[in-house]
Amino acid sequence: MSRLFEVKDVDRRFYREKLRSFLPDRIIDVHTHVWLKDFRKAPPTGRAVTWPLRVAEQDPVEDLVETYELLFPGKAVEPLMFSFVESHEDDFEAANAYVSRAAREHGFAALVFASPQWSAQRLEREIREGGFFGAKVYLTLSPSDIPVDQIRIFDFLPHQQLQVLNEHGWIVMLHIPRSGRLRDPVNLADMLEIDRRYPKAKVIIAHVGRAYCPEDVGDAFAVLRETKHLLFDISANTNAAVFEQLVRTVRPRRILFGSDLPITRMRMRRICEKGNYVNLVPKGLCGDVSDDKHMGEVEGEQADALSFFLYEEIDAFRRAAQATGLTAADVDDVFHGNAVRLIDSAAGRKEVS
């Protein structure tokens, strides 16, 4: 048995019966975190959920490689990876240097974890010198005097950085803010502005804009139908209905597979209760979760039936693919081809078609 986690018969059966034939032989995961616990110097900021920290306190690149081998037998999986930084007190330099070195040694693609305090020149230098293909940005790095539900995208992805990313055609991984998630009109206005003003930047909206429950959607997909360039990853999302709407809105060439590992190693199933997502985990697996509105526990046969978060995500997309009539070629694009074109374009090797 792996030192990381156990793969049980329920997992092998889930993979064999639902996922193995659906997935292409080659996969690129565009959303995965690699970091060492020593890089994190400050406690959680309170601006983001804390339950993911229950899964892993670090994720060295060797653990990521082993996780792919355990979860995707018979498949060749490579990441587009970046670190995990939440506070300006964390060690940006060490975190990014580790990812840069790991990417170089393993032949993987990577993004720099960027601070909104960096100038355009600093961001460009960090990307070039680290061999990165763009940047990962995060809402918790916004100025501390902004209330969490008033944070805007441009507070942690400023225009001067978007201009650099657009100029070079680089990638940016964007986790949108605000409790309204994808339906929030401010978020939608900002996304439309980015799509219009920065068409060459490869902007990936992580987690389908955090639309984990039907109530998170609103009229977002009607609005987003106007976009031409925004990309969307499906990481850490298990909502097949949301995936269906995404496919019908932007079509498969603008959708990317992402895992959000190591978080999705969690053994769980997600439900929605009055618009709030709840991760159901085996009782005791994650310690005391009684104070977390996004966590719930089950036991007995319900607990025994739980498999991995990542398997639930992929199965939800499989069901959405069937409902929308995606072809095997479309699925290959989502799990491999789109990422190949994206990374090649960001590297200046060719344009995305």
Q: Based on the fold, state whether residues 277 and 329 are members of the same structural domain.
A: no
Is residue 264 pLDDT above 90, yes or no? yes
For residue 66, give the CATH number of its domain.
Answer: 3.20.20.140
Q: Based on the fold, state whether residues 155 and 299 are members of the same structural domain.
A: no
Q: Based on the fold, state whether residues 291 and 316 are members of the same structural domain.
A: no
Over residues 84-97, mean pLDDT? 96
What pLDDT does 36 receive?
A: 97
For the segment 167-219, what is each residue's pLDDT rounded down to a tens digit?
999 999 999 999 999 999 999 999 999 999 999 999 999 999 999 999 999 99
What pLDDT does 53 receive?
A: 86
Q: Based on the fold, state whether residues 289 and 320 are members of the same structural domain.
A: no
- 146, part of any domain: yes
What pLDDT does 352 receive?
A: 43
Q: Based on the fold, state whether residues 168 and 93 are members of the same structural domain.
A: yes
Q: Based on the fold, state whether residues 66 and 25 are members of the same structural domain.
A: yes
- 2, part of any domain: no
Cβ atoms of 327 and 335 within 8 Å: the answer is no
- 1, part of any domain: no
- 179, part of any domain: yes
What SS3 string covers the chain? CCCCCCCCHHHHHHHHHHHCCCCCCEEEEEEEECECHHHCCCCCCCCCCCHHHHCCCCECHHHHHHHHHHHCCCCEEEEEEECCCCCCCCCHHHHHHHHHHHHHHHCCEECEECCCCCCHHHHHHHHHHHCCCEEEECHHHCCCCCCHHHCCHHHHCCHHHHHHHHHHCCEEEECCCCCCHHHCHHHHHHHHHHHHHCCCCEEEECHHHHCCCHHHCCCHHHHHCCCCCCEEECCCCCCHHHHHHHHHHHCHHHEECCCCECHHHCECEEEEECCEEEEEEECCCCCCCCCCCCEEEECCHHHHCCCEHHHHHHHHHHHHHHHHCCCHHHHHHHHHHHHHHHHHHHCCCCCCC
What pLDDT does 353 receive?
A: 41
Is residue 351 pLDDT above 70, yes or no? no
Is residue 67 pLDDT above 60, yes or no? yes
Q: Based on the fold, state whether residues 190 and 315 are members of the same structural domain.
A: yes
Q: Based on the fold, state whether residues 83 and 134 are members of the same structural domain.
A: yes
How far, in Å, CA of 49 to CA of 190, rounded? 23
Is residue 159 pLDDT above 50, yes or no? yes
Q: Which domain holds residue 161?
A: 9-266+309-346
- State pTM to two decimals: 0.96
What pLDDT does 44 receive?
A: 80
For the segment 6-56, what is each residue's pLDDT rounded down to a tens digit?
999 999 999 999 999 999 999 999 999 999 999 988 788 788 888 998 899
Percent of the chain whose predicted confidence (pLDDT) is above 90: 93
Q: Based on the fold, state whether residues 275 and 332 are members of the same structural domain.
A: no
What pLDDT does 50 receive?
A: 85
pLDDT band at 109 (very low <50, low <70, confident <90, very high): very high
Give the CA radius of gyration of the chain.
19
- 299, part of any domain: yes
- 192, part of any domain: yes
Over residues 110-129, mean pLDDT? 98
Cβ atoms of 72 and 95 within 8 Å: the answer is no
For the segment 245-254, what is each residue's pLDDT rounded down to a tens digit?
999 999 999 9
Cβ atoms of 47 and 140 within 8 Å: the answer is yes
Q: Based on the fold, state whether residues 192 and 205 are members of the same structural domain.
A: yes
Q: Based on the fold, state whether residues 33 and 47 are members of the same structural domain.
A: yes
Neighbours of 54 (CB within 10 A): 17
Percent of the chain whose predicted confidence (pLDDT) is above 70: 98
For the segment 276-335, what is each residue's pLDDT rounded down to a tens digit?
999 999 999 999 999 999 999 999 999 999 999 999 999 999 999 999 999 999 999 999
How far, in Å, CA of 256 to CA of 231, rounded? 7
Q: Give just the sign of the alpha carbon dihedral 347, 350, 351, 353.
A: negative
pLDDT band at 350 (very low <50, low <70, confident <90, very high): low
- 112, part of any domain: yes
Q: How many distinct structural domains can be found in the chain? A: 2
Over residues 152-171, mean pLDDT? 98
Return contacts of 288-297, CB within 8 angstroms, 24+ apart. Answer: 289/51, 289/54, 292/49, 292/50, 292/51, 294/49, 294/51, 295/51, 296/271
Is residue 255 pLDDT above 60, yes or no? yes
Cβ atoms of 71 and 4 within 8 Å: the answer is no
- 207, part of any domain: yes
Q: Based on the fold, state whether residues 46 and 60 are members of the same structural domain.
A: yes
